Amino acid sequence: MTLDDPDRPPEWEWRPDLDPANAEVPEWVYLVHLDRPIGDRDNPRGQAQHYFGSTEDLEERMGRHRAGRGSPLLRAAAEADDDFHIVRTWPGGRTLERTFHDAQNSPRFCPECSASPRMSLPKVTPRRVRIAARKAAEAAKKAAARATGKTPKPAPPSREPPPSPEAKGRRDAERFLARRDGWTSDQLQASLEYVMRPYREHGARTAGQQASMAAFVDHIQGAIDDLRSGEQAMRPPDEPEPEQQAAVADEHEPPDWLPEEFRQRREPDPHPAEPPEPDPKARAA
């Protein structure tokens, strides 16, 4: 059976490496398609779904990829348990692989992404043109990074003096109450106890923190007491007191002045891992 045989397996159309007639081909360029794109899921331009490589031994190379070696992109996919597979091969080595990278349009070659995958090979770009194009792309990328990095302009120096520790405490108390609008006095009390617990355990580190904490607690406790008297006035005399409701821990937020290590101790980051970087070598769409 050969590539021209009408009864050839359908995958041979895109995988000439599977054809025993091609057993003597020394090197193959391969295109890997990832079932799920890697990268910024909210930004299609920040995603990569294809990888071009070249090898003398496709099976061995794919084993390496699945073990997380040889390509950061495929390692990220392997670690995320996302499947990937070779969708197409061409006889050729590094030079041909390079032209695919330079073409920078992997989906056009992919039989799973394109209804009519491109048949012609990408044009070989002379080395100096490639270098110039890469430099231009890097310069554009840097310019874009500078442009986006600039957006939050530094605020002009404020004439107002910084708020006092007491004012900070009251401001945080207002925020605390605003976020819990509609809560009962018991819920607020539980929430206050919750956010203050580590602070009470470890104490204030500075006089300023001590003052902020005192103002914070005073302000909230005052609001809770007011709310509680209101609730009691509203309640018909024969109705029993409502059961104390435990506030939901997730909704607690520590005040701004709570030292960082206290916050981290109490609220470990549920997503500490950095998202994987798309492989720049893949140059995929």
Cα–Cα distance, 106 to 132 (Å, whole number): 21
**Selected binder of Zn ion within 27, 102, 112, 218 (CB under 5 A):** 112
User: Please, which residue, 50 or 168, has the CB nearer to Zn ion?
Assistant: 50
Cα–Cα distance, 195 to 203 (Å, whole number): 13
Residue nearest Zn ion, Cβ-based: 110
219 Cβ contact partners less than 8 Å away, ≥ 6 residues apart: 169, 170, 173, 174
User: Please, which residue, 109 or 257, has the CB nearer to Zn ion?
Assistant: 109
Instruction: Decide: is 285 part of the binding site for Zn ion (CB under 5 A).
Output: no
Size of the site for Zn ion (CB under 5 A): 4
Instruction: Decide: is 171 part of the binding site for Zn ion (CB under 5 A).
Output: no
If you count them, how many residues does the chain have?
Answer: 285
Instruction: Decide: is 113 part of the binding site for Zn ion (CB under 5 A).
Output: yes
- Write down the least CB distance from residue 87 to Zn ion, Å: 6
Instruction: Decide: is 33 part of the binding site for Zn ion (CB under 5 A).
Output: yes
Instruction: Decide: is 78 part of the binding site for Zn ion (CB under 5 A).
Output: no
Interface region with Zn ion, contact rule CB under 5 A, candidates 30-38, 116-124, 158-166, 277-285: 30-38
User: Please, which residue, 33 or 171, has the CB nearer to Zn ion?
Assistant: 33
Q: By C-alpha distance, which of 99, 101, 115, 63 is closest to 84?
A: 63
C-beta separation of 42 from 139 below 8 A: no
| Interface with Zn ion in residues 137-156 (CB under 5 A) | none
Instruction: Reduce the DSSP state of residue 86 to 3 states and report it.
Output: strand
| Max Cα distance, the chain (Å) | 94
Interface region with Zn ion, contact rule CB under 5 A, candidates 32-40, 163-171, 230-238, 264-272: 32-40
The answer for 249, left when phi > 0, alpha when psi is -120 to 50, beta otherwise, is alpha
| Interface with Zn ion in residues 81-110 (CB under 5 A) | 110
Cα–Cα distance, 173 to 218 (Å, whole number): 9
- Write down the least CB distance from residue 110 to Zn ion, Å: 3
Query: Could you list the residues that contact Zn ion (CB under 5 A)?
Result: 33, 110, 112-113
